[in-house]
């Protein structure tokens, strides 16, 4: 739904919460959930959809008949698609995901091809006159992208995608922005690293030259067009795990002239106290499915652990303490549950900034971990939890 706030942003939730890898599975889940969510949160006006597509589903939805059927469903129920999550390429539910969620990464033609296919679909699905966005992997898994040649290939992939998006804009008038999403343990782990990469490797050098050549743009024009089509997906959970101060960081991105194409609204786990108790408190979240990157701050020292078992091992050896923040998306309306806390204040800060100025055109709640959360924090039915999260956000925004 569109909100009466600075910049008139659109609010939705990410449908990666619904399991499904084939288009048939995804369509079935959406046809069941979306009308009920809309009835609960936006019964009298159009509601936006934050679509998640796997590579398989994107390939299947390219069939005109399937896409027309989905567009008819959107029209009937007064829904519209304005953003797509193209971060996970393959399976995202029920099986071990961990570091495979970043594969294939941006060094590969598979990632480039998948993202461009998603862009073509979004160009057809998004309403005329409405900017759209695609969130994506921040390069890839950190240990896989270290050599200069790897970094150059990542930048080239983004530049080629930006040229594809620029071509879509020239043909259709629709502006789509690729939103790079920094995440712990990735090549671009923090917001600062993502801004630095865009400035140093994409807006100048071989990648910028490649974009200018593909887009037929002058160097000056190429800079503006690149900035139009490549920006950030600022995930408040990821930022909080990195111990970033939310408002100063968003202000720094704005000052750099880089678009926050999507603001993902989410909270992380946090806990402080005796390290000996951390495993007891957090052990239930070591689900074997998702990677739970853990960042520890002890005084001024920051220590990064790839996953909870690594952090638990350090605690057992007496090498960990202070405050832990864990990459586990928890419901946005919770500031604590049981003996654990959430980084909800970071989210409140981001929403407070949205009340004062335009931060991002797209606001998306992203809590995809309901299936692994304790029953005590869940409603009897998932749709109720989705509506509750969206209602909480809207109340915080005063919208």
Residue 122, class by beta-carbon neighbours within 10 Å (0-12 exposed, 13-18 middle, 19+ buried)? buried
- What is the C-alpha to C-alpha distance for residues 179 and 119, in angstroms, rounded to an integer? 12
Could you say which residues of the chain have pLDDT below 70?
A: 91-98, 372
Do the beta carbons of residue 48 and residue 8 sit within 8 Å? no
pLDDT at site 130: 96
3-state helix, strand, coil in the chain (%, to 5): 50, 20, 30
The CA distances from residue 150 to 108, 187, 214, 242, 373, in Å, are 10, 10, 21, 24, 37
pLDDT at site 321: 84
- What is the C-alpha to C-alpha distance for residues 125 and 271, in angstroms, rounded to an integer? 42
pLDDT at site 96: 58
pLDDT at site 339: 85
Smallest CA-to-CA distance from 191 within 249, 231, 230, 260 is with 249
Q: Which two tokens stand for residue 301?
A: 């020292």
- What is the C-alpha to C-alpha distance for residues 68 and 74, in angstroms, rounded to an integer? 10
Superfamily of domain 10-267+342-397: Divalent-metal-dependent TIM barrel enzymes (3.20.20.150)
pLDDT at site 285: 82
Smallest CA-to-CA distance from 189 within 153, 146, 141 is with 141
pLDDT at site 97: 64
- What is the C-alpha to C-alpha distance for residues 149 and 161, in angstroms, rounded to an integer? 18
- What is the C-alpha to C-alpha distance for residues 127 and 74, in angstroms, rounded to an integer? 11
Q: Which two tokens stand for residue 164?
A: 């594809």
Q: Which two tokens stand for residue 329?
A: 């998306």
Do the beta carbons of residue 192 and residue 146 sit within 8 Å? no
Query: At 275, which helix (H) or strand (E)?
Result: none
pLDDT at site 19: 85
* Every domain of the chain and the residues it spans: 10-267+342-397
pLDDT at site 95: 57
Q: Which two tokens stand for residue 42?
A: 């936006």
Sign of the four-CA dihedral 79, 80, 81, 83? negative
What is the rounded average pLDDT for all residues in the chain?
A: 94
336-337 and 294-298: which strand pairing? unpaired
Query: At 70, which helix (H) or strand (E)?
Result: helix 64-76
């Amino acid at each position: 739904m569109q909100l009466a706030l600075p910049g008139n942003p659109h609010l939705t939730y990410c449908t990666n919460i619904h399991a499904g890898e084939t288009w048939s599975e995804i369509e079935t889940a959406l046809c069941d959930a979306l009308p009920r969510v809309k009835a609960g949160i936006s019964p009298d006006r159009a509601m936006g959809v934050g679509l998640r597509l796997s590579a398989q589903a994107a390939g299947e939805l390219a069939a005109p008949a399937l896409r027309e059927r989905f567009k008819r469903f959107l029209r009937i129920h007064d829904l519209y698609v304005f953003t797509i999550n193209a971060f996970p390429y393959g399976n995202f539910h029920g099986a071990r995901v961990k570091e495979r969620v970043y594969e294939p990464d941006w060094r590969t033609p598979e990632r480039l091809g998948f993202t461009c296919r998603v862009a073509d679909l979004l160009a057809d699905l998004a309403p005329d006159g409405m900017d759209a966005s695609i969130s994506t992997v921040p390069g890839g898994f950190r240990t896989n992208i270290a050599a200069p040649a790897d970094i150059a290939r990542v930048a080239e992939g983004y530049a080629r995608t930006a040229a594809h998006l620029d071509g879509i804009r020239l043909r259709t008038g629709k502006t789509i922005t690729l939103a790079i999403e920094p995440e712990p343990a990735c090549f671009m782990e923090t917001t600062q690293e993502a801004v630095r990469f865009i400035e140093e490797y994409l807006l100048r050098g071989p990648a910028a030259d490649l974009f200018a050549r593909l887009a037929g743009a002058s160097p000056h024009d190429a800079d503006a067009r690149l900035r139009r089509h490549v920006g950030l997906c600022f995930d408040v959970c990821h930022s909080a795990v990195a111990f970033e101060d939310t408002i100063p960081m968003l202000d720094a991105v704005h000052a750099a002239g880089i678009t926050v194409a999507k603001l993902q609204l989410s909270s992380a786990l946090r806990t402080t106290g005796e390290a000996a108790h951390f495993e007891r408190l957090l052990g239930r979240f070591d689900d074997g499915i998702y990677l739970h990157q853990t960042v520890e701050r002890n005084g001024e020292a920051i220590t990064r652990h790839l996953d909870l078992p690594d952090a638990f091992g350090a605690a057992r050896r007496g090498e960990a303490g202070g405050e832990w923040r864990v990459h586990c998306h928890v419901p946005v309306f919770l500031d604590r549950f049981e003996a654990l806390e959430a980084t909800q204040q970071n989210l409140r800060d981001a929403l407070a900034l949205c009340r004062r100025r335009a931060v991002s055109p797209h606001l998306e709640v992203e809590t995809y971990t309901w299936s692994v959360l304790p029953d005590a924090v869940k409603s009897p039915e998932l749709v109720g939890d989705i509506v509750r999260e969206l209602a909480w956000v809207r109340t915080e925004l005063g919208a």
